Amino acid sequence: MSSPSPPAVPSQIAPSLTFREKVERFWLRVTEGLELNQLWSQFEKDARAGYQLYARELEGKQAQDTRPGRRWLYTAQQFFWAILEKLSPARRVLLLLAVVLMVFNPEFPWHGREGELHIVSLDFRLYGGLLLLGLLILEVADRVVMKRDLEIAREIQTWLLPGSPPAVPGMEMAFTTRPANTVAGDYYDVFRRPDGTHLLLAVADVAGKSVPAAMLMATFQASLRTLSGTRSSLLDLVTGINRYACTNSQGGLRFTTAFLAEYDPATRALSYVNAGHNPPMLCRRSGALERLKAGGLPIGIQADAAYQSGSVTLAPGDWLVVFTDGVVEAVNTRGEEYGEARLLASVATSSEAAPQEMMRRILADLDAFVGNTPQHDDVTCLLLKATGA
């Protein structure tokens, strides 16, 4: 009877990781490959955003005592309450208890059997730290659940926006949006009217940010798509959208600025209505600048508001730049706004480029200007270039 064969030995055994390699792998997983300067930049931006969130609670509140020391103490108290009130009552108690345990370190004398004096110290800092860790875990759990829901909302929101520009004779275009939060209140759209030839362009900015603005944006998109399916004129379309928006605008508090335009590729004519939006810039190839201002009130303020339409004709080499206020009102660390002058300069230096390249340069210039300042509003831009085709 033959003896059993020994188990096969692999020709190469993977060497175990050294301690340094394990540390490097752990650090890479934590930082996701970011360099130290990138981590610091991200922390600085997060810190500024967090401070602005709590500082809003202090706006309009002034200390009764005008002495500098008292003012500082009052501001610190109000800032503390602004943080505390963001938590649920149970977590407020947990936070207060953790803070007390971390700073409360009592000492008291104790006499031994032989009369020796001993100082007994009770150190609760470890328990305070554990309570803070437990509070952090609870807050992270809430954040993860909320972030997951917002990511789903953002995915749904992207379905409402066009994925790529349609092919239009004599025109090239590019568009983009950057939400200040996970979901945005800005909206853009490009699609054909029922006749199959005219193109409808829309850029809108709902008052507010985040989830409430995103919900109103979805309502605006649905009404625009529904009403534009009829053969109504552009003025009738805007009037109908405004009447519908006024039914759920909370008395005009939830309004929307919008620029709506209809383009005829055969004649290169662009008719438009500017409903309280930032006037788009028509940059002629000759260097002349026109602002498209004709229109009326923002949508959702007044049900019987009257609107006017304007009309321009595009020539080869002309650029139409449509944007929301998040572009020109973006601020840097010194509180300076990006402004329309910088946007115009960026357009002028890229006038010979394709729209996608111009868009990339505009965003790069905006990022360089803003630096580590948190984005406070949604950024949306739509570029049209008339070509000779």
The answer to whether residue 216 sits within a structural domain is yes
| Strand 295-296 with 269-275, pairing | parallel
CA distance 62 to 196: 60
CA distance 186 to 384: 18
Within this chain, do residues 218 and 172 fall inside the same structural domain, yes or no? yes
Within this chain, do residues 332 and 187 fall inside the same structural domain, yes or no? yes
CA distance 381 to 362: 9
Q: Half-sphere exposure of 21 toward its Cβ, with a 13 Å CA cutoff?
A: 4
What is the domain-level CATH number for residue 367? Answer: 3.60.40.10
Within this chain, do residues 148 and 254 fall inside the same structural domain, yes or no? no
Within this chain, do residues 374 and 269 fall inside the same structural domain, yes or no? yes
pLDDT by residue for the chain (389 residues), tens digit each?
A: 445 555 554 445 446 788 888 888 888 888 888 888 888 887 877 777 777 777 766 665 555 555 666 677 777 777 788 888 888 888 888 888 988 888 877 766 666 666 676 666 677 888 888 999 999 898 888 888 888 877 887 787 788 888 888 888 889 999 999 888 777 788 999 999 888 889 999 999 988 777 878 888 888 888 898 888 888 899 999 999 999 888 877 766 789 999 999 999 999 999 999 999 999 999 999 889 999 999 999 999 988 899 999 999 999 999 999 999 999 999 988 889 999 999 999 999 888 899 999 999 999 999 999 988 888 888 999 999 998 76
Task: Judge if pTM exceeds 0.75.
Answer: no
Quick one: which of 142, 145, 138 has its CA closest to 91?
138
Within this chain, do residues 173 and 147 fall inside the same structural domain, yes or no? no
End-to-end CA distance of the chain: 88
The answer to whether residue 205 sits within a structural domain is yes
What pLDDT does residue 62 have? 57
What pLDDT does residue 309 have? 94
Within this chain, do residues 138 and 177 fall inside the same structural domain, yes or no? no
Q: How many domains does the chain have?
A: 2
Quick one: which of 274, 249, 250, 241 has its CA closest to 260?
274
Return the residue matching tokens 């009877």.
1
Within this chain, do residues 141 and 168 fall inside the same structural domain, yes or no? no
Within this chain, do residues 48 and 184 fall inside the same structural domain, yes or no? no
Return the residue matching tokens 């759209």.
189
Give the neighbor-by-neighbor strand order of the sheet with 171-178. Answer: 171-178, 379-386, 319-323, 281-283, 289-291
CA distance 205 to 257: 5
The answer to whether residue 13 sits within a structural domain is no
Within this chain, do residues 94 and 72 fall inside the same structural domain, yes or no? yes
CA distance 26 to 33: 11
The answer to whether residue 14 sits within a structural domain is no
Within this chain, do residues 128 and 189 fall inside the same structural domain, yes or no? no
- Identify the domain containing residue 214 by its residue range: 164-386
Within this chain, do residues 214 and 325 fall inside the same structural domain, yes or no? yes
Q: Indicate the residue among 154, 177, 210 that finishes a domain.
A: 154
Within this chain, do residues 181 and 89 fall inside the same structural domain, yes or no? no
